[in-house]
Chain A
Amino acid sequence: MNRPDTTFEKIAWPIGFGLAVLVLWEIVVRGFGVSPAILPAPTAIAAAIRENPGTLWEDWVQTVLKGAVNGLWMGTLAALVVALIIDRFDFLKRGLLPVANFFAALPIVGLAPIMVMWFGFDWHSKAAVVAVMVFFPMLVNILGGLAAVDPMQRDLMRTYAASHAQTLQKLRGPAALPFLFNGLKIATSLALIGAIVAEYFGSPIRGMGFRITTEMGRLATDMVWAEIVVSAVTGTALYGLVAGIEKRVTFWHPSQRG
């Protein structure tokens, strides 16, 4: 019971489970003759992906590269700058942290229609929604990270006569990194949600959210599923990318050494 998991087991079980679900899905759809408008078989979805690579690519560029990624870096950068400013002033920290915490729990995605009204139908409004959605969780995490140094370590830096910038660069910055990456992991999935939802309120005739609504209206469910597959792979890949960078950058952290 206590023997450690081998790498093979760690990979084989989840993939096997996924495959089993797909096979079962295929059997149910074929065996019970489920209408493709309700639930297309996995093979039909694969066919839809093979037949429309151009459309899927165009949508992906519009929603992910232009909307989500742009919003993600804008929101993260803004959060970083604001966090560094707040960090210098104790008064701001005490006042803004609870407010930011509160905002982080709000359904900010509701700003989507307002952002579309302000910035138009193209990707700018999507990036704006994503930036605002990402901002508060990132801010809270970075501030939490900057505070995650014990007094002893801070005192050590003071005995070295380190300046604020030096302490930030050598001690508190690195100590905040694990928190920053935690925030980024939340932010990547929020970014995709924001970019897709914003397209429901108006978009040019491309984009994943646009495609999902229009194809749903035509009952072309296989195309909707194709977009879902693309978005799922994108979401997982973005998460994997963040986790991969985290592993390389914070290799010294206990959570990465275990």
Chain B
Amino acid sequence: MKNLTAILTVVAALVVLWYGAAIKMNSTWTYDQAERAGTQVTFSELISDTMSQSRPLLPAPHQIVTELWKTTVEKKITSKRSMIYQGSITLKTTLLGFALGIVLGVASATIIVLSRIGRLTLMPWAIISQTIPIVALAPIIVVLSNAAGTGTLMVPKAIIAAYLSFYPVLVSMVKGLSSPDAMQLDLLRTYGASQSNVFWKLRLPSSMPYFFASLKVSVAAAFVGAVVAELSTSAIAGLGARMLIGSQFGEPMIMWAALFAAAILAAILIFLVGTFERIARQLMGGRTA
């Protein structure tokens, strides 16, 4: 409860700062207009004008809320201007990339843990892969998946999202699959367990807490990847594409609304995965990584 008061205070302070910055940044335009018209601007006029410009440098928070309301509740979901429609496309990309990332992460972690050569070969490349800026690769991924005949932009976008989201899963799963200690492995050897028995009965179950702990990071990465993908593949639909359109047509309100819609969507995703993680942990008897 004490934390909540602190958080709310901080958020309130940020909003106040924001209003201040909005007045400051948008005032140049107001003064400019007034000078052209040859009039003087009073303080109250300044405030009301900087709060309601249609193309502000920095829109006031309530303007963004209004724009979001207009583009979610008041627009039909099928409309191209609806943030819910655009968000659902980004969400689809994220989930596809997330799923692909999990499969890729778990599979490579399994290879790395089970085979010495796999570990020596793959682990350095997994690290290197994350230091390569994915945006540079994005156009190539689009061309290659087009050549492979996937048709839509969904596949390359999901691949880009997966590229960012597999890494947290990989790292956690490597840790988790190698978490059984020598004593436990020895016990299974006295049982005459085979390699695959050890994997299915000991390594995999003991890696689960690590797996669930990695999901929250991974889904956030997948979402960032999806937005980056939309920004860098000149997509025509999705929240990232809305930002592009807002930028090209000089409509800052669209950019800001898309940015906030993205933030809200990210928050929902992280919250859902976090809840899922908590439930899964409770079902497993409250073990943590």
Contact = CB atoms under 8 A, between A and B. Distances in A.
Given A110-B227, A110-B240, A209-B135, A236 B262 contact: no
A200 B120 contact: no
B133 A196 contact: yes
Contact of B244 (A38, A113, A114): A113
Contact of B133 (A17, A37, A106, A231): A231
A95 B9 contact: yes
Interface string B121-162: 110110110111111110110011001000000000000000
A61 interface: no
Given A107-B228, A212-B136, A231-B132, A99 B266 contact: no
Q: Summarize A's interface: helix, strand, loop or mixed.
A: helix
A105 interface: yes
Contacts of B144: 38-39
B131 A188 contact: yes
B36 interface: no
Given A224-B139, A238-B131, A107 B223 contact: yes
A56 interface: no
B171 to A, nearest CB: 12
Nearest to A133: B224
Interface residues of A, number: 57
Nearest to A17: B121
B227 A109 contact: yes
Given A107-B227, A189-B131, 10 more contacts: A5-B120, A14-B120, A16-B121, A95-B5, A110-B239, A113-B255, A193-B133, A193-B228, A200-B231, A236-B132
Interface of A: 1, 5, 9-10, 13-14, 16-18, 37-39, 91-92, 94-96, 98-99, 102, 105-107, 109-114, 116-118, 188-189, 192-193, 196-197, 200-202, 208-209, 212-213, 216, 221, 224-225, 227-228, 231-232, 235-236, 238-239
Across the A-B interface, give the 6 residue pairs with the lowest CB-CB distance, nearest first: A95-B6, A113-B247, A95-B10, A235-B131, A13-B120, A107-B227
